[in-house]
Amino acid sequence: MAGVLPQSIPQVAILSPNWLGDVALALPSLQSLLLARPETTFHVLTRPPFGEVLDLLNASRLEHHECAPNNAQRRQVLRSINPDAVILFAGSFRSAWIARGLGNIRIGTRSEGRGWLLTHPVPRGTSRPRPTSEHYADLIEVAVGVRPPPPQEVIPPARTIQRSDIVLVPGASRSKKRWPESRFVELGKKLQEIGHAIVLLGAPTEKTLLHAISEHIPQSRVICESNLQPALAAIQRAAVVVGNDTGPRHLATLFGTPCVTLFGPTDARWAPPTQHEHAVRAQPFAPGSLIADDQPNVFAMERIPTGDVLHTVRKILCEFQD
């Protein structure tokens, strides 16, 4: 399969997904694009801080443009690029409407009734749940005829960095995905007792939450900057990242940083744990026929005991020291 993008295509625009974790999951697909079309410049429209994640690929042919606040302005940005093709990683109808008629090739998933706006609509697939990274891989396979690998380490571990901090990520996009704050406090104190500094990491909107937790974990440090560099540096230096199913777990994958992810009413099969990631589930013995998203009470985060998380972290630390 050769792919629908010509070898010498000059300009391709990519409408980025809207969440930090999804952008991190898209990096293997972007790498495959760069390798498969060495004469092409790829323009990624993304929210301002996410460009720092794209910069991790260190690719001169990968340019990012700030995602404008409304549809008309986003379309204007796209028109200024004058792309020969558009790939829609974003799966909304709005993204397809913004890209309508631009470029000779428009590749995206056939969802939300937007297939008629695309030249190459790709089936979303019927299996549920299915990893988001697989949807991106479907698009790239159509585009260049090569299927990207699963999410993987992008930045080799820095051997000169002393990994000792434990990064805790208590926030999440929805309250039902959050492990109780009191459990993070309990975990942080126990990890301090065995000599590890605690870093509390989150988005600027989670500043109040992070500082409230830090008051109960003496000498813990809070990172909640609008730019991603402090967060990226903390994750790269961490011995372990512990958190809910949210963006930083995918950033940890990029650096090869060990990670413990807490799964409640979000099925782990949407984004399966990677090589250095350990999943702690609210219902570890639930049958595969049950989907966590459909049973929020059965898979409540409160069902994850602190002891299980601490045991997993200590096991990783012992392996790391060996």
* Residues 239/320, Cβ–Cβ less than 8 Å: yes
State pLDDT tens for residues 109-143: 998 899 999 999 999 876 678 898 999 999 999 99
State pLDDT tens for residues 138-156: 999 999 999 999 888 887 7
CA distances from 170 to 22, 239, 306 (A): 19, 17, 13
State pLDDT tens for residues 82-104: 999 999 999 999 999 999 999 99
In the three-class reduction of DSSP (H, G, I as helix; E, B as strand; rest coil), residue 75 is classed as: helix
Residue 159 pLDDT level (bands cut at 50, 70, 90): low
State pLDDT tens for residues 177-197: 999 999 999 999 999 999 999
- Exposure string over 48-63, b if 16+ CB within 10 A, otherwise e: ebbbbbbebbebeebe
What average pLDDT score do residues 160-177 get? 88
Our CA dihedral for 117, 122, 127, 133, rounded to 10 degrees, sits at -100
- Exposure string over 195-206, b if 16+ CB within 10 A, otherwise e: ebebbbbbbeeb
What average pLDDT score do residues 9-32 get? 94
Range scoring the smallest mean pLDDT among 203-217, 251-265, 308-322: 308-322
Asked if the domains at 11-144 and 166-321 fall in one CATH topology, the answer is yes
If you ran DSSP here, which 8-state letter would residue 91 be given? -
Q: Write down the mean pLDDT value for the chain.
A: 93
Instruction: Give the per-residue pLDDT at 240.
Output: 97
> Is it the case that residue 207 has pLDDT exceeding 70?
yes
Quote the CA–CA distance of 97 and 95 in Å, as a whole number.
5
| Token code pair at residue 48 | 């301002």
Quote the CA–CA distance of 313 and 271 in Å, as a whole number.
20
What's domain 11-144's superfamily in CATH? Glycogen Phosphorylase B; (3.40.50.2000)
Quote the CA–CA distance of 125 and 112 in Å, as a whole number.
13
- Exposure string over 265-284, b if 16+ CB within 10 A, otherwise e: bbbbbbbebbebbbbbbbbe
Residue 275 pLDDT level (bands cut at 50, 70, 90): confident
What's domain 166-321's superfamily in CATH? Glycogen Phosphorylase B; (3.40.50.2000)
In the three-class reduction of DSSP (H, G, I as helix; E, B as strand; rest coil), residue 298 is classed as: coil
Helices (H), 115-261: 132-144, 181-193, 207-214, 229-237, 247-255
Domain assignments of the chain as residue spans, ordered by start: 11-144, 166-321
> Is it the case that residue 160 has pLDDT exceeding 60?
no
| Token code pair at residue 312 | 């997993």
Instruction: Give the per-residue pLDDT at 68.
Output: 83
* Residues 174/166, Cβ–Cβ less than 8 Å: no
State pLDDT tens for residues 38-68: 999 999 999 888 999 999 999 999 999 998 8
